[in-house]
Amino acid sequence: MNNQITKYYSIAIILIITLSTMLTGCASGQISDSPITTPAITDPAVAPAISQTATLTPLPYPEVSLGPDDFYFSIDGKQTFILSRNPTGKTQTDFNTVLDWAHQGGTRVIRVHLTHGWWGDPWINQDWSVNEKWAQNWDGFFDQAQADGIYVIPVFGVWADWNNGTPDWGSSLWQYNPLNVANGGPVASPGDLFIPESDTQMRWMEWVKTLVQRWQGRENIAAWEIFSEIDIASGATGYKYSTGSVDESTGILFTNKTKEAITTADKQSRPVTLSISGVYSSSGKWNEYYNLDSLDFIEVHSYSDTIDRELVSQVRNYLNKYQKPVLIGECGLWSMVHNDNAKIGIKHAIWAGMVSGAMNSRALWDQDGYYLYAISNRTTAMEFMQDYATLELPVVRFTSPIDFTGFHPITATSTPGVWGAAVGNETMILGWYRDVASEPPDWKLQPVISKQTVTLTVPGTATEWRVNFYNTNTGTDIIGSALVTRKSDKVTITLPDFSDDIAFKLLPK
């Protein structure tokens, strides 16, 4: 069973699970607030650790924003590369644990599927009102996230809740949707949500608006996501009464109208997004959806065994085609290859995300929480996820002092022994390259990679550049340095001997 199908199957079994106790709101202070542990910093470009000195005057919470011409979120006024996650859980302990891991790993943004959380309570009452107990649970979780310096992207709708098997992904949750008439609710078909001006659509949007009004005053809301993978929700392509056929225009109307409702309710005017699965892109459907003016940034949901290559390719394709910031919303291994070496492939994916041109990296599905629903043994699932708990820390350390304003993908070529990519601007270029033979399903590593070069097309006019090479297991330790000279618009870098992968920073001398 491949990972995309297993992902959908795992969602389906979530609501089948009967909890013996109802979940309660998160108590504040349950998440460790200890600072991230880092090794001694040897990179002069990395800021020293800030002393954790107590103060009687709370510091203002850093503002998060996305400017109209920016391709990265700004945190406290600086365009910042972020690490993100998709946390979930079965119990309150699960939620506490995955958020604690996010804090320890240096994650700055979490994307949360609101309807797939706090399983003891439905996400909506059958009279269309917000389930207060459910909302209070999320209130507590958002409080803990803010205490840990983590921003949130709430996702209001998820395809599986509105899928009755068409298209058939084997994981429809429509039968468990509290609004389904079969459960005593008011909605006869999931496609009713996408019929323009229908009672279902209008009332659902009021539910969204109520939640935005509830949370819009929070300092750690980074953005709003209308719907996750709308292209595989039943009826999202639009229903025509005369023929019974569908077209994409109804999904567009739904998106635009929901964006209007969110904008009306949010006094902070945060950015709004929506994601598609990409399943139908190859057939020509949904290819223009991300051009909508109502979407301030767009997403890739990338599942592949060669996930690092897939991310670089898809992100750059979207950047070129849509000219919008790209968030890696979800990613993972296609066939769920969870052997002993899979961690190498996931590590490569996190570094590849950093040089892809995306505004973030990590964003894993199984490793960030949803593996809890892929297997029945909770202890095994938690041990598996813990093994990946802080895998992004080297990338956090590598990128933390850098202002990403003006960063864009850099054209690069390399000798046959390595593969990777680079991003940057005229003042700094970041690169990452790996052993070209390290591919799934085993991700075998050669003992040493030697005599490899990378040629970059560099912007600006600087002639002399200094390149520092970094250990990717720390993100801070410099393992070599060299001076290189620009020839025309190219700089060629000779990589030092390394094993597995290597990162570098290139700066004008």
Return the number of other C-beta atoms located less than 10 Å from residue 197's C-beta: 8
Cβ neighbors of 335 (< 8 A, separation 6 or more) are: 2, 3, 305, 441
In this predicted structure, what is the pLDDT of residue 38? 33
Q: How far apart are the C-alpha atoms of 322 and 435, rounded to whole Å?
A: 31
pLDDT tops 70 at residue 53: no
Q: What number is the average pLDDT over the span 433-460?
A: 96
Written as one letter, the residue type at 189 is S
How would you list the strands of the sheet with 412-414, edge to edge? 412-414, 453-457, 490-494
> Residues of CATH 3.20.20.80 domain(s) within the chain?
3-46+59-399
Of 51-55, 170-174, 231-235, the poorest mean pLDDT is in 51-55
pLDDT tops 80 at residue 378: yes
Question: Is 176 within 8 Å of 190 (Cβ atoms)?
Answer: no
> Residues of CATH 2.60.40.1180 domain(s) within the chain?
408-508
Can you read off the two tokens belonging to residue 268?
């902070």
Q: How far apart are the C-alpha atoms of 189 and 414, rounded to whole Å?
A: 53
Confidence bin at 59 (pLDDT 50/70/90): low
Of 9-18, 97-106, 251-260, the poorest mean pLDDT is in 9-18
Q: What number is the average pLDDT over the span 438-454?
A: 95
| pLDDT single digits (tens) 177-217 | 999 999 999 999 999 999 999 999 999 999 999 999 999 99
In this predicted structure, what is the pLDDT of residue 287? 76
Return the number of other C-beta atoms located less than 10 Å from residue 257's C-beta: 17
Q: Is the pTM of this model over 0.85?
A: yes
pLDDT tops 90 at residue 127: yes
Q: How far apart are the C-alpha atoms of 262 and 207, rounded to whole Å?
A: 11
| pLDDT single digits (tens) 329-345 | 999 997 766 788 999 99
Q: Name the average pLDDT for the chain.
A: 86
Q: What number is the average pLDDT over the span 236-255?
A: 63
Q: How many CA atoms lie less than 13 Å away from 437 in the CB half-sphere? A: 8
Question: Is 249 within 8 Å of 238 (Cβ atoms)?
Answer: yes
pLDDT tops 60 at residue 496: yes
How would you list the strands of the sheet with 78-79, edge to edge? 64-65, 74-75, 78-79
| pLDDT single digits (tens) 380-420 | 999 999 999 999 999 999 999 999 999 999 999 999 999 99
| pLDDT single digits (tens) 151-182 | 999 999 999 999 988 766 656 889 999 999 99
Q: What architecture is domain 3-46+59-399?
A: Alpha-Beta Barrel (3.20)
Residue closest to 121 by CA, chosen among 16, 19, 8: 19
Look at strands 224-228 and 464-470 and give their pairing: unpaired
Strand ranges in 114-237 using DSSP code E only, listed in sequence order: 151-158, 224-228
In this predicted structure, what is the pLDDT of residue 24? 35
Q: Could you tell me which residues are beta bridge partners of residue 498?
A: 449
| pLDDT single digits (tens) 6-47 | 454 444 444 333 333 333 333 333 323 233 333 333 443 443
In this predicted structure, what is the pLDDT of residue 23? 32
| pLDDT single digits (tens) 465-486 | 999 999 999 999 999 999 999 9
Question: Is 236 within 8 Å of 230 (Cβ atoms)?
Answer: yes
Give the right CATH number for 408-508 from 2.60.40.1180, 1.20.58.190, 1.10.3720.10, 1.10.1040.10. 2.60.40.1180
Confidence bin at 120 (pLDDT 50/70/90): confident
Written as one letter, the residue type at 453 is T
Can you read off the two tokens belonging to residue 451?
């005599």
Q: What number is the average pLDDT over the span 97-122?
A: 93
Peptide bond into 409 cis (omega under 30): no
Q: How far apart are the C-alpha atoms of 251 and 246, rounded to whole Å?
A: 10
Percent helix, strand, coil in the chain, to 5, is 30, 20, 50
Q: How far apart are the C-alpha atoms of 231 and 213, rounded to whole Å?
A: 27
Determine the number of helices (DSSP H) and then strands (DSSP E) in the chain.
9, 20
| pLDDT single digits (tens) 270-318 | 999 999 987 766 666 777 889 999 999 999 999 999 999 999 999 999 9
Of 7-16, 62-71, 100-109, the poorest mean pLDDT is in 7-16
